Structures are given as structure tokens and as C-alpha cells.
């Protein structure tokens, strides 16, 4: 039995849809997901047939942020978390610097780094059911990194409301 790809790619007439494919985990950004997304966006940037990229999420939610179960399973290892956040930063910068527009197609939840992922895209299209949050401070985490991208896309008051 083959393992499902973490990122699915569909190309139609110059439009590439990249779909995060961990629906059982609300497309949480595991180390593997971050690397798969990074590889996919690097491929898209080099593909001359691609004019625009859409980033979607499979299943009931767009992206639940970092995979806290994976982080816990790694015993909050400093080396692991440093690499995880370095990979996350590289992914976000790759999306921001991509020479083609990237559109987030959001449904369900987009929380923490998932909200940052949306804010790093050029445009976002949200369903009526889409919900955004940065709940890290509510569970004792200092996760203000998503606020950099969010504050560049929202008013200061809305960004502060999301953080608190």
C-alpha cells in the first residue's frame, strides 16, 4: 500500500492547484508537510507553463497550523523545533517571493501558522465557513510569528485582536 502524497498537484491551463493532503490532521504543518510544500512551490516557480498557483487544503479545514502532536512527540527538542521554524520561514518567504501570484483557497479553519500561510499568499478567497485564529497565547505558547504576515495584510487593530 502506497502512502498518500502530502501535497497534491493539479495543472489546468496555466493554473496549478497545490492541495495540502493531511485532512485527518486538518492539514497541520508537520516537518514533512513543510518540506513537501516548499518543494512544490520551488517546482511551480520554475515551471514556465504555470501562470498562477492556488493553495488549498483537503478535508474539513484549510490548515491547523504547526503539528503540535509532532512537536510533542519530538519532546520539544531544540534542534527539531529550530529546524521546523526555519523550514516554516523558508516556505513563507518562498511563497512571498514567488514570481507568480499565489491564491489561498480557504475553507474551515486557518489557525496560527495556517493563518500565516494565508497571509503570505498574494490573495485569499475564503468560504463563508472559513475561520481564522492565532490561539497560541491561549494555550501558553508564544506564537506571535504569524502576526508579522497578518499585520501586513490586516489593520493593526484586527491583527492585535487576533493575537489577544
Beta bridge partners of residue 97, listed in sequence order: none
Question: For residue 135, is it within any domain?
Answer: yes
pLDDT per position as a tens digit, 88-130: 999 999 999 999 999 999 999 999 899 999 999 999 999 999 9
Is there a domain that residue 88 lies in? yes
Does a structural domain hold residue 72?
A: yes
In a domain, 98, yes or no: yes
Number of domains the chain is built from:
1
Residue 46 is predicted with a pLDDT of 98
> What b/e readout covers 2-32, taking b as 16+ CB neighbours within 10 angstroms?
eeeebbeeeeeeeebbbbbbbeebbbbbbbe
Residue 111's nearest CA partner among 2, 9, 18, 26 is 26
- The Cα 85–Cα 35 span in angstroms is 12
Contact criterion met (CB below 8 Å) for 6 and 32: yes
Report pLDDT for 76: 85
Q: Is residue 63 part of a domain?
A: yes
* CB of 63 closer than 8 Å to CB of 29: yes
- For the segment 59-78, the average pLDDT, to the nearest whole number, is 94
Q: Which three cell numbers stand for residue 96?
A: 512571498
Q: Is residue 2 part of a domain?
A: no
Per-residue model confidence (pLDDT) at position 132: 87
Q: What is the pLDDT of residue 3?
A: 74
CATH no. for residue 120? 3.90.226.10
pLDDT of residue 151: 57
| Burial tier of 76 (Cβ tally within 10 Å: 0-12, 13-18, 19+) | exposed
Residue 53: Cβ-neighbour burial (10 angstroms; 0-12, 13-18, 19+)? buried
- Residue 19 in domain: yes
- Burial tier of 114 (Cβ tally within 10 Å: 0-12, 13-18, 19+): buried
Task: Check residue 163 and give its pLDDT.
Answer: 63
Identify whether 1 is part of a domain.
Answer: no
For residue 82, pLDDT over 70 is answered with yes
- Provide the domain limits for residue 13: 7-163
C-alpha distances in Å from residue 117, one per residue of 11, 29, 38, 55, 95: 21, 10, 12, 9, 9
User: Which pLDDT score, from 0 to 100, does residue 133 have?
Assistant: 82
% of the chain exceeding 90 in pLDDT: 73
Amino acid at each position: 500500500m502506497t502512502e498518500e502524497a502530502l501535497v497534491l498537484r493539479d495543472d489546468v491551463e496555466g493554473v496549478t492547484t497545490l492541495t495540502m493532503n493531511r485532512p485527518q490532521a486538518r492539514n497541520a504543518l508537520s516537518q514533512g508537510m513543510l518540506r513537501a510544500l516548499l518543494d512544490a512551490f520551488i517546482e511551480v516557480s520554475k515551471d514556465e507553463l504555470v501562470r498562477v498557483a492556488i493553495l488549498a487544503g483537503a478535508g474539513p479545514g484549510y490548515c491547523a497550523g504547526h503539528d503540535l502532536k509532532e512537536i510533542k512527540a519530538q519532546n520539544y527538542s531544540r534542534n527539531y523545533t529550530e529546524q521546523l521554524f526555519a523550514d516554516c520561514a523558508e516556505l513563507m518567504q518562498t511563497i512571498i517571493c514567488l514570481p507568480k501570484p499565489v491564491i489561498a483557497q480557504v475553507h474551515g479553519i486557518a489557525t496560527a501558522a495556517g493563518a500565516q500561510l494565508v497571509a503570505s499568499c498574494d490573495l485569499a478567497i475564503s468560504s463563508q465557513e472559513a475561520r481564522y485564529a492565532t490561539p497560541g497565547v491561549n494555550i501558553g505558547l508564544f506564537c506571535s510569528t504569524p502576526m508579522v504576515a497578518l499585520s501586513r495584510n490586516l489593520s493593526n487593530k484586527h491583527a492585535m485582536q487576533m493575537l489577544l
